[in-house]
Amino acid sequence: MADLTGTTAVVVGAGRGLGLAAARALAREGAGVVLAARTAAEVEAAAAEIVRAGGQARAVVGDAAREADADRMIAAATGWTGRLDLLLVCAGSPLIKPLVDVTLEEWEHLFAMNMRTVFLTNRAALRAMLPAGRGLVINLASRAGITGAPNVAGYAAAKAGVIGFSRALALEAKPRGVRVICLAPGPMDTPMRWQATPDFDRARLIAPEAVVDQVLYLARHPTVSLEDPVVPVSIRL
């Protein structure tokens, strides 16, 4: 398809960083976009900005790690336009700390923010997409979930879980017309990166727009099916 006019997307984690960049791009392509995030000021301002620019957007404030909130994010799309074409899950949380210093509370928080959010939003989206026989789910993981890295064992484990979950779900959903893709980028130039590692080498960072281009390509071409649903995104120096 030339653009995304008439489609509806939900972007989880749309208040900042990659989620915000993706929501803006999807709206420019003609999609109606539900922007979902925990911080009301950010997500409401982002939706208002898209509307001022001539796009279609609605804000939903909620925590995708909570079942009722995740369901409400998807219902906001289907209740608005009667359809759901794309779910992009960008919500997540990092932790950089030697494993011996990680508390159980921190470990469980990592899995809630990086894995439970994916499970709950994907389940809610599939309940809308499978009966329609179409749709695209894109989960954001991380290169750390493939290669690992020092001092991020919990984060890498959670993202590896997202990767395995997405691979299995892709096989489950494909026969019924729904694609599931997992993007696994290296370090990106986002507020989360700078908050976690303020001294990181900027030259090694991926621009969010490079990942957004992957999202748009998949959304524009509903017949494209990938042999491996996990797509690493990296930068060459």
SS in 3 state form for 126-159?
A: HHHHHHHCCCEEEEECCCHHHHCCCCCHHHHHHH
Q: Which of 7, 155, 182, 187 is catalytic?
A: 155
Cα dist from 124 to 59, 65, 106, 110, 111, whole Å: 18, 12, 26, 21, 19
Annotated active-site residue 155? The verdict is yes
Burial class (CB in 10 A: 0-12, 13-18, 19+), 146: middle
* 21/154 Cα distance (integer angstroms): 27
Report the candidate in 37, 38, 35, 29 with the shortest Cα–Cα distance to residue 47: 35
Q: Is 10 helix (H, G, I), strand (E, B) or coil?
A: strand
Residues 10/73, Cβ–Cβ less than 8 Å: yes
- Rg of the chain in Å (alpha carbons): 17
First to last CA, the chain: 34
Residues 153/110, Cβ–Cβ less than 8 Å: no
- CA quadruple 141, 190, 112, 15: dihedral sign: negative
**54 Cβ neighbours under 8 A, 6+ residues apart:** none
Point out the residues that are catalytic.
Answer: 155
